[in-house]
Structure 1
Amino acid sequence: MAAPPLERVLDGVRLHVVTGKGGVGKTSVASALGLALARQGRRVLLVEVEGRQGISQTFGVPPLGTAEVRLVQDPSGGELWGLSVEAKAALLEYLQTFYKLGRAGGTLERMGVVDFATTIAPGVRDVLLTGKVYEAVGRTTGPRRGQGRYAWDAVVLDAPPTGRITRFLGVNEQVADLARVGPIHGQAESITRMLRSRRSAVHIVTLLEEMPVQESADALAELAGAGFGLGALVVNQVREPLLPDELLARLEGDPDSVEEQVRADLAAVGVRSGARTVGGLLAEGRAHAERVALERALATQVAALGQPVVTLPALLAGTDDGGVSVLADELLGQGVH
């Protein structure tokens, strides 16, 4: 199945949900995506909901709280802001917004009701987190919601991992079924409509490893089946082969055929070509050739999933020393807008 163009997939998207198997670098990718959008003159909010403070570590700033903090002011005029959504604060805000509890919300917190709702009651935490993201996406500068221009040109959500993402995004549909009337029902339906509209897209981050690729394929099928908009497949930490294709093929098929070349190359640089040295180099070369062949096969599998593919290079220093900026430039160069 041919993938649609990236430009068409991203057209009109205001909420970018970034997910991926644990360890694939989804926070780095979400941060780079937010920075890439800001570099186009946009005002962007980067949100995390797992309490890991990954954004603050990526940008080298103090831990984020419940207030939005500017992370980057770009020369283009764009801005990147960060926010760590915390379920307890989101619940108190919700109670004030819909029920005008005010100081009574503090009383509920002291009684332990807030802790119960945010840590024990099934699904409530995810409802609150998605609700806060919904508020940010739809927030406007006018006196009422929907009046004036949008406060944020785009919102990037560093979301839960692929194993939980469909349940996380779909929790409000269950709430709407349970609460048939009232503000809870209305908000739950509104959040679900936004997440399933063309304004939202879920981007899946993977590595060229068997487990992440399989989990990405499973998540893609689940999300599509649940009606959520799909964005790009981001292949992170891609490494260029260290050897030319002809040599890789020989190492994988018949490493002994390379032995004389290895001995000659060692002699040329003044290194003794003992059996242990040559044997070790041939074993390393064959392992590298097998690894490259596996990665190329997995890249073919990713391309066959039917979504636009974006590739990001492996960075020796990780996201330190401007690594996020490098990734942002890669995204811009591949058509992210």
Structure 2
Amino acid sequence: MSRLHVVSGKGGTGKTTVAAALALALADEGRRTLLVEVEGRQGIAQVFETDALPYEERKIAVGPGGGEVFALAVDAERALLDYLQMFYKLGGAGRALKKLGAIDFATTIAPGLRDVLLTGKVCEAVRRKRKNGRPVYDHVIMDAPPTGRITRFLNVNDEVAGLARVGPIHNQAQAVMRVLKSPETAVHLVTLLEEMPVQETVDGVAELRAAALPVGGIFINMVRPPLLGEEELSRAADGERPAVAKAFSRAGLGGARRGGLAERLVDPLLEQAREHVVRVRLEQEQRKEIAGLGLPAPELEFLDEGADIAGLYRLAKDIRKQGVPGVAG
């Protein structure tokens, strides 16, 4: 069963919202989930309508099943201080380096180091145990970088392990990769039923698989139900203008005479119907593209009133009903 769920997606697909809903969905009775942000956007605080998250694990919600949801915004500088203390016992010397700006300098000139620190902190939360040997968190959900750079972000420890052949850095990088490439991890991608996000998702899955990173599933977000059945879609595509005009006339909308209300309504209505047909047919094509990946693909509804707290719980309910990719039962 997967315990680390990495959520990525093209910008604008709602990956932070999906990650938050997933954390709620996995917070079953008695279970604890940790939702981690690594991009410094405070997106989790926004979707849960709470204050900015500090560099500490804070309880922010209760799941639909009664479990607990904690959240953490990982800061690369603070993570580096933790790392220096853990492996080199620098303590006050590490804080002095921060005051001198050395840590900020190091993470700026070596972007890969920043990713190593962020993934390392997340994997530490996955591995952390209680005194009885059980995991502190049943599931850890990472609101990860976008699809375009998710493979490099997750695979950076492989590069570091290759550069540092021995020592604690090498060992730490290898430990992180053992988690990221194990069945404990599932990388989920979020998409919309639109051509560009779906194509980026297809490319992202190919890159993840080539890097031997475990892909979990595809969350299809912001799905609108079709307003017309298949027969009605075909008729709308044909543009049956006379039939529509007569129907308006029978409904008492001013008759079908030229210039009447019914006559003026026909063309705008048919145009809207044709636009709807185009959208539905495009979505059907994109569903086929996603199905070709051979992965679970839960669909999440479009939230008309926005992704507020109530909306998050609705999405969490949808996820629980359809099942979380990589999690049994």
TM-score (norm. length: structure 2): 0.93
Q: 1 CA distance for matches of 2:197 and 2:99?
A: 43
1:193 equivalent in structure 2? 178
Q: Relative to structure 2, which stretch is displaced further, 240-249 or 46-55? A: 240-249
Q: Partners of 1:237 and 1:312 in 2: how far apart?
A: 6
Unpaired runs of at least 5, structure 1:
1-11
Query: Given the alignment, which residue of 276, 293, 296 partners 1:288?
Result: 276
In structure 2, C-alpha distance between the alignment counterparts of 1:231 and 1:13, rounded to whole Å: 9
Q: For 1:169, which of 135, 154, 167 is the aligned residue? A: 154
Is 1:330 aligned to 2:318, yes or no? yes
Deviation at 1:73, TM superposition (A): 2.8
Question: Which of 8, 12, 23 is matched with 1:34 structurally?
Answer: 23
Report the Cα distance in structure 2 between the residues aligned to 1:172 and 1:259, rounded to whole angstroms.
Answer: 66
Code of the aligned partner of 2:320: L
Q: Find the aligned partners of 2:297 and 2:232 in 1 and give their Cα distance.
A: 28
What is the CA-CA distance between 1:270 and the residue it aligns to?
Answer: 3.6
Which residue identity does 2:54 align to in structure 1? G
CA-to-aligned-CA distance 1:100-129 (integer Å, 9 cap, x gap): 000001111122210012222131110110
Contact 1:266 1:273 in 2 (8 A): no
CA contact (8 A) 2:248 2:262 kept: no
Is 1:113 aligned to 2:92, yes or no?
no
Shift of 1:265: 3.5
Q: Residue by residue, what CA displacement relative to the aligned partner does 1:225-279 show, whole Å, maximum 9, x if unpaired?
A: 1001110111111111112221211222x21x24422552365164653544211
CA distance in structure 1 between the aligned counterparts of 2:186 and 2:2, rounded to whole angstroms: 7
Alignment gaps of 5+ in structure 2: 255-259
**Percent sequence identity over aligned pairs:** 53
Distance 1:109 1:321, change over 3 A: closer
2:215 is matched with which residue? 230
1:193 shift after superposition: 1.1
Change in CA separation of 1:77 and 1:105 when aligned onto 2, cut-off 3 Å? same
| Alignment-derived partner of residue 248 in structure 2 | 265
Q: Matched residues in 1 for 2:206 and 2:134: separation?
A: 35
Report whether the alignment pairs 1:220 with 2:237.
no
Q: Does residue 1:302 correspond to 2:254, yes or no?
A: no
2:78 counterpart SS class: helix
Structure 2 residue corresponding to 1:55, chosen from 44, 63, 73 = 44
Among candidates 69, 74, 95, match of residue 85 of structure 1: 74
Secondary structure at 1:123 match in 2: helix
CA-atom RMSD in angstroms: 1.6
What secondary structure, in the 3-state scheme, does the structure 2 residue paired with 1:16 have? strand
Give the Cα separation in 2 of the matches to 1:312 and 1:40: 23
Counterpart of 1:25 in structure 2 is 14
The aligned amino acid for 1:63 is A
What residue in structure 2 maps to residue 240 of structure 1?
225
Distance 1:121 1:246, change over 3 A: same
The residue that corresponds to 2:257 in the other structure is none
CA distance, structure 2, for counterparts of residue 123 and residue 87 of structure 1: 11
Q: Which moved more, 1:159-168 or 1:57-66?
A: 57-66
- Counterpart of 2:125 (choices 126, 136, 144) is 136
Aligned mates of 2:37, 2:156 — CA distance in 1: 18
Corresponding residue pairs, total: 320
What are the Cα deviations for residues 120-172 of structure 1, in whole angstroms up to 9, with x where unaligned?
Answer: 21311101100100110001123xxxx72211111000100000000000000
Task: Supply the distance in 2 between the matched residues of 1:74 and 1:321 (Cα, whole angstroms).
Answer: 12
- Give CA-to-partner distance per residue, 1:28-68, whole Å, 9 cap, x none: 11011100000343110000101111111111111111011
The one-letter code sitting in structure 2 at the alignment partner of 1:22 is G
Which residue identity is paired with 1:100? K
Q: What residue number does 1:66 align with? A: 55
Q: 1:39 to 1:263 in 2, by over 3 A?
A: farther
Could you tell me which amino acid in structure 2 is paired with residue 171 of structure 1?
V
